[in-house]
Structure 1
């Protein structure tokens, strides 16, 4: 739980009383590789902090899934649009490795917002961070080549990329696995 405390303190320091209340609402869950965290049509009920592991966001397709996001250790994960609107998710989230998550329910998070001094500030900063990640991805898709997107991903997470199947990386950068293979040959 220490890593989530460090992450939150980096966003906005929590006093001891707020931290004690917030941390009392968290529970630890260990999840196996390839576990589905949310399916299409389900309402997201949890905000989770990845203590260990890698997850992906995707839309299942008949021929191949459309992967549009990866999250790694020390990041929060949720189907955020479903979480805040309380409507069914239009995508799925699954683990790509064994994972350890610290989770808080929607109801408990609302209570943290209401009963702590720093809960709302932290919630706002996390929402802003999620927006920046989404915005960066959209701008990259519109303004960079597939090779540039691959190199960006490789620069940001070189060791972790070794754990992600190439077909998911290809889908994420918007190319076929064959095109990704050609990109990788060009840059090595």
Structure 2
């Protein structure tokens, strides 16, 4: 819980009563590896804060291939925020790549914080902007060669190499697992 409060306090000041309200509204949740935080075709109903573990966002392209779009690691928000706010069905999956521990807010509890805490909307907007920036900024540039994309992945996600399956990394980089294996061997 303290990690969540430290994260939130980066975006503004809160009094003890407000902190207590946030703690009251957040529920700790364990998510086993492979389970979903949110799924395509469903309306996202919760906002999470990842305390431990790694999650990934992915979708299926028009050929039915699974494409990993992002990885989310500790001390980050986990939410498909555009669809959460618009109350519309998601086109992506948020799945636990490892066992995860999260602090989770239901939609009603998240909205109650906006009504009860002066300045919460401003803090929330900053948190969401950071979340969206983190999910978009580290995407591989497909015009780069695969080795360059892999080296940038290592630089951007140094802690993930031994935590997520190579199939997910290959999907994220837009290469086959066999190509990824060759790239890894060539740079050792």
- Name the SS of the counterpart of 1:19 in structure 2: helix
Q: Is 2:166 the partner of 1:157?
A: no
Distance (Å, rounded) in 2 between the aligned partners of 1:101 and 1:130: 15
Q: TM-score, normalised by structure 2?
A: 0.89
Change (3 A) 1:135 1:58: closer
1:1-16 map, 5 Å: 1-16=1-16
Q: Is 2:186 the partner of 1:186?
A: yes
Gaps in structure 1 of 5+ consecutive residues: none
Tell me which moved more, 177-186 or 92-101: 177-186
Give the Å deviation of 1:146. Answer: 3.1
Note if contact 2:76-2:131 (Cα within 8 Å) is conserved in structure 1.
Answer: no
Tell me which moved more, 164-173 or 152-161: 152-161
Tell me which moved more, 52-61 or 150-159: 150-159
Q: Is 2:99 the partner of 1:89?
A: no
- Name the SS of the counterpart of 1:58 in structure 2: strand
Distance (Å, rounded) in 1 between the aligned partners of 2:67 and 2:80: 16
Give the Å deviation of 1:124. Answer: 1.0
Q: TM-score, normalised by structure 1?
A: 0.89
Distance (Å, rounded) in 2 between the aligned partners of 1:46 and 1:22: 14
Give the Å deviation of 1:144. Answer: 4.1
Give the Å deviation of 1:107. Answer: 1.6
1:127-146 map, 5 Å: 127-137=128-138, 140-141=140-141, 144-146=144-146
Residues paired across the two proteins, number: 187
Note if contact 1:55-1:94 (Cα within 8 Å) is conserved in structure 2.
Answer: yes
Distance (Å, rounded) in 2 between the aligned partners of 1:131 and 1:91: 14
Gaps in structure 2 of 5+ consecutive residues: none
Higher percent of residues as helix:
1
Instruction: Determine the structure 1 residue equivalent to 2:118.
Output: 117
Instruction: Determine the structure 1 residue equivalent to 2:24.
Output: 24
Distance (Å, rounded) in 1 between the aligned partners of 2:133 and 2:29: 27
CA RMSD of aligned residues (A): 2.0
Distance (Å, rounded) in 1 between the aligned partners of 2:110 and 2:124: 9
